[in-house]
Amino acid sequence: MAVRIAAGIAVLALIGGSIFFISKSQSSGPEHAATTQQHPADAGSKLSFDLEDTVPQIDFDSIPEVIAEVDGKPIPRDEYVKELKFFQEMVKKSNQPIGKEYTEQIMNQILAKIVDSRMFIAQADKVGVKVAPEEVQASLEKMKSGFGDEAKFKEFMDSRGFTDQSLEEEMKKGMRIRALLDQEVATKIVVGEAEAKQFYDSNQDKFEARERVHASHILAMAHNPEDKEEDARAKAKAEAILAKLKGGADFAETAKAESDDKGSGANGGDLGFFAQNDMVPEFGEAAFAMKPGEVSGLVKSQFGYHIIKVHDKKPAGKIPFEEVRDNITQRLKMTRSNEAVMDYIDKLYTDMAVKVIDKDNKLGPITPKRKASAGAHPMPL
């Protein structure tokens, strides 16, 4: 449970060749949330939309039997239709109408993801990229645990029409695609310290920091703080943990064993450095009022009861290069990798003679990603 301020977002996610919508909380807290960038593409089906309706009206009859061709092999319409129907269902459940432009973008993204996924898997077959069964199983277990309980996971499976076998296949596809891009692109990108230092020196304004605190915490979570019994249970647990700490128990080990914030708990409760308004008010105020080495009493927030240990404080000012070197290196590598991936995809488009339906439902070549990133669509207009 992150204590940093979070915002709810909806994302389009991809497991192998299958696309599905999920809601997630994006947080800069101890659980690092990934952001997803999607690339629009022009779909070949026609649709109409009325803002009084909450379901985009898609003319499925207009979608041809073959929606694309990769390396001379046709991609039938079935998967595209299935994903579009799921998209309609998700919009219906949200009970919130969406505009025609956004609807078209989502349709385009679905088509593009299906085509790109099929292309990546074909290339993975050619170069012999595989994943071990035990790796797939580990990823499946991690995915299941993210739903919290079996009922929510079953609801997801039912909504997507997944069986255990089909979900495993989709997970395997996704892992093979990631392994392919790692092997063919990411591992070839190298960013040296000199380049990172040059970026740091040329962007000094980006490294001005507010006053920051380095702290750890242990959380006794109250799932519903308004429930008096639930609140009392969480408080009693926090008091028992605090008594152990006062008795000499190690803070980090206690956090690993007993904190309800499993994200930071695995790291001994460590939250790293943060500014005061990065956290919910009660937590931020308490942490910044403490001195390095101090352990707080119980601090109540919307999440439950925290016990905070402050390790260090840093005043506002320029962040030293040594502190941000790894972050700069990773950001530069990610930027360069993204560019290299676009080049790699463009090469695959050409090598595999990839075609996709346009607005007239005719198969045609895809606009290169490089050109698309400058404003054009990757699918033919």
Tell me, what's the pLDDT at 313? 95
Q: For the chain, give the number of residues.
A: 381
Tell me, what's the pLDDT at 372? 58
DSSP string, 310-355: EEEEE-SEEPPHHHHHHHHHHHHHHHHHHHHHHHHHHHHHHHTT-E
Amino acid code (one letter) for 327: N
The rounded average pLDDT for each run of 10 residues, N- to C-terminus, in the chain (381 residues) is 35 41 34 32 41 68 93 94 89 78 84 94 96 94 84 87 91 95 94 96 92 96 86 96 97 96 93 93 96 97 96 93 94 93 94 90 80 47 33
Pairing of strands 355-357, 317-318: unpaired
| CATH topology for the 13-189+329-372 domain | Triger factor/SurA peptide-binding fold (1.10.4030)
Tell me, what's the pLDDT at 59? 83
Angle at 15 between CA 10 and CA 21, to 5 degrees: 25
Residue boundaries of the structural domains of the chain? 13-189+329-372, 211-315
Q: How many angstroms separate the CA atoms of 171 and 178, rounded?
A: 11
Q: How many angstroms separate the CA atoms of 148 and 129, rounded?
A: 32
Place of tokens 């947080």: 27
Predicted TM-score (pTM) of this structure: 0.62
Pair 340, 185: CB distance under 8 Å: yes
Q: How many angstroms separate the CA atoms of 236 and 221, rounded?
A: 11
Pairing of strands 73-76, 66-70: antiparallel
Give the count of alpha carbons within 13 A of 183, CB side only: 14
The domain over range 211-315 is classified in CATH as 3.10.50.40 = yes
Tell me, what's the pLDDT at 381? 33
Q: How many angstroms separate the CA atoms of 23 and 25, rounded?
A: 7
Q: How many angstroms separate the CA atoms of 67 and 74, rounded?
A: 8
